[in-house]
């Protein structure tokens, strides 16, 4: 079984050629909060640098334990230069949406005016994303022990608050668009 471990390596930098946001993304709303970044050069893969796989369509996510990766703040309000990882679980979507809307979290009605859709999942209970983690991957061990990226950190409220899990964009809901933009080269 492949596990995510922190390996201290010298950082790598790549130039961005193009950023392609989802065509239906419309700020300030958070629906379709996904973009594809095309790099100017290829990434040289190795034992310590491997890609995540795309998930299968309509992946069943309830009851699964995920790994969340990010460079955001810790609950101590510190930022980190080493990638942080934690195990998280899917939260009940209806309960998550109700908690956010009842509490009248700032801008919730602005960023999700139609409520949650099937392109969104709530993840985390006591472990959660923090400021600076947006855009980070939510991964799950898939078939053959390969890691699949099932979500992208979109937003949240606070850090590690059980009532307000992190809100993620579901990657499996955008597979057709991803394949179209990458011309199947994903």
The pTM score is 0.82
Cα-to-chain-centroid distance, residue 14:
21
3 — phi, psi (to 5°)?
-125, 155
Q: What is the pLDDT of residues 104-160, one digit of tens each?
A: 666 788 899 999 999 999 988 666 667 656 788 888 887 777 889 999 989 888 777
> Do you know the residue count of the chain?
186
Q: What is the pLDDT of residues 66-101, one digit of tens each?
A: 877 655 555 555 555 545 566 778 888 888 888 888
From the list 50, 84, 45, the residue with the least C-alpha distance to 67 is 84
Taking alpha carbons only, the member of 22, 3, 41 closest to residue 170 is 22
Given this structure, which CATH class describes domain 52-174? mainly beta
């Amino acid at each position: 079984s492949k596990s995510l471990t922190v390996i201290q390596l010298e950082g790598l930098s790549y130039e961005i050629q193009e950023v392609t946001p989802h065509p239906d993304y419309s700020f300030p709303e958070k629906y379709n909060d996904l973009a594809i970044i095309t790099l100017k050069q290829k990434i040289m893969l190795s034992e310590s640098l491997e890609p995540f796989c795309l998930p299968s369509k309509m992946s069943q996510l309830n009851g699964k334990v995920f790994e969340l990766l990010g460079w955001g703040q810790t609950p101590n309000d510190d930022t980190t230069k080493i990638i942080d990882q934690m195990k998280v679980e899917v939260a009940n979507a209806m309960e998550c949406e109700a908690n956010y809307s009842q509490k009248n979290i700032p801008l919730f009605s602005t960023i999700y005016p139609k409520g949650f859709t099937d392109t969104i999942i709530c993840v985390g209970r006591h472990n959660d994303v923090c400021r600076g983690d947006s855009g980070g991957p939510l991964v799950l061990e898939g078939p053959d022990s390969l890691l699949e990226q099932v979500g992208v950190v979109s937003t949240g409220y606070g850090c590690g608050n059980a009532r307000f899990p992190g809100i993620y964009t579901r990657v499996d809901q955008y597979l057709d668009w991803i394949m179209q933009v990458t011309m199947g080269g994903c």
